[in-house]
């Protein structure tokens, strides 16, 4: 059951990313620049995402172990402690990228328009890093506790009910273009991280078992 849920999540997330790329590709003359910029941005963000994924796995294992040992309160404490460390460290990295956004963008972007848009992408999206850390790390904790469905729904709602509809509205209907999409990405990640923290904090997962 667990593996099936993970596969469904991966398919839905990857499909949502493809849809987002499609929306950016429909921005007319600026579409190519937007696509190049988000691709560059994703590559640079790997500096943050890869450590976050490692913390995701650590939270999953440690929360699961403590919960399995009958120490639910300790499992919650461990989850929050790992998350606190992750939020602080990743936010510091994000701050460096934010203040040196042009430098990091210049590593991959050579054309002036792409360099400018990649820089804008980084400056805007670095704001959402604390919430991204919340989502990934606490999501790992929920998965370790057996609440895989809960973590999956939080992420899918953030993608399919917030990010994509708002991106379509802001970029194609209201005409704010790529910048509007970057702001929407921050908005959806803020919602996603906040909702994940609320779900973990309620502690309903303490009574669950891995399927």
pTM of the predicted structure, to 2 decimals: 0.93
Q: Are 105 and 33 in contact (CB under 8 A)?
A: no
Taking each helix axis from N to C end, the angle separating 31-68 and 129-144, rounded to the nearest 10 degrees, works out to 40
Q: Is residue 211 part of a domain?
A: no
Asked whether residue 155 is domain-assigned, the answer is yes
Give, for all 211 residues of the chain, the pLDDT tens digit.
555 556 767 788 889 999 999 999 999 999 999 999 999 999 999 999 999 999 999 999 999 999 999 999 999 999 999 999 999 999 999 999 999 999 999 999 999 999 999 999 999 999 999 999 999 999 999 999 999 888 989 999 999 999 999 999 999 999 999 999 999 999 999 999 999 999 999 999 987 654 4
Q: Is residue 140 part of a domain?
A: yes
- Helix ranges (H only) for 100-176 are 101-108, 112-125, 129-144, 148-156, 164-167
Number of Cβ atoms within 10 Å of the Cβ of 174: 10
Q: Which domain holds residue 39?
A: 2-203
**Length reported for the chain:** 211
Instruction: Examine residue 194 and state whether it is found in any structural domain, yes or no.
Output: yes
Asked whether residue 154 is domain-assigned, the answer is yes
Q: Does residue 209 lie in a domain region? A: no
- Among residues 76, 95, 86, which one has the least CA distance to residue 205? 76
What's the number of domains the chain is made of? Answer: 1
Contact 158, 192 (CB under 8 A): yes
């Amino acid at each position: 059951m667990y593996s099936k849920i993970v596969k469904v999540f991966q398919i839905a997330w990857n499909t949502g990313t493809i849809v987002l790329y499609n929306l950016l590709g429909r921005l007319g003359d600026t579409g190519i620049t937007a696509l190049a910029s988000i691709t560059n941005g994703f590559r640079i963000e790997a500096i943050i995402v890869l450590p976050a994924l490692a913390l995701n796995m650590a939270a999953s294992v440690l929360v699961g172990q403590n919960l399995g040992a009958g120490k639910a309160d300790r499992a919650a404490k461990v989850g929050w402690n790992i998350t606190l460390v992750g939020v602080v460290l990743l936010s510091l990295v994000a701050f460096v990228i934010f203040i040196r956004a042009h430098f990091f963008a210049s590593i991959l972007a050579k054309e002036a328009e792409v360099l400018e848009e990649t820089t804008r992408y980084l400056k805007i999206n670095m704001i959402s890093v604390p919430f991204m850390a919340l989502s990934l790390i606490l999501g790992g904790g929920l998965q370790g506790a057996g609440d895989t469905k809960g973590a999956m729904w939080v992420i899918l709602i953030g993608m399919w009910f917030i990010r994509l509809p708002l991106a379509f509205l802001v970029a194609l209907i209201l005409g704010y273009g790529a910048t509007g999409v970057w702001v929407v990405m921050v908005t959806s990640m803020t919602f996603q991280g906040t909702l994940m923290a609320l779900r973990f904090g309620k502690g309903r997962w303490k009574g669950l078992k891995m399927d």
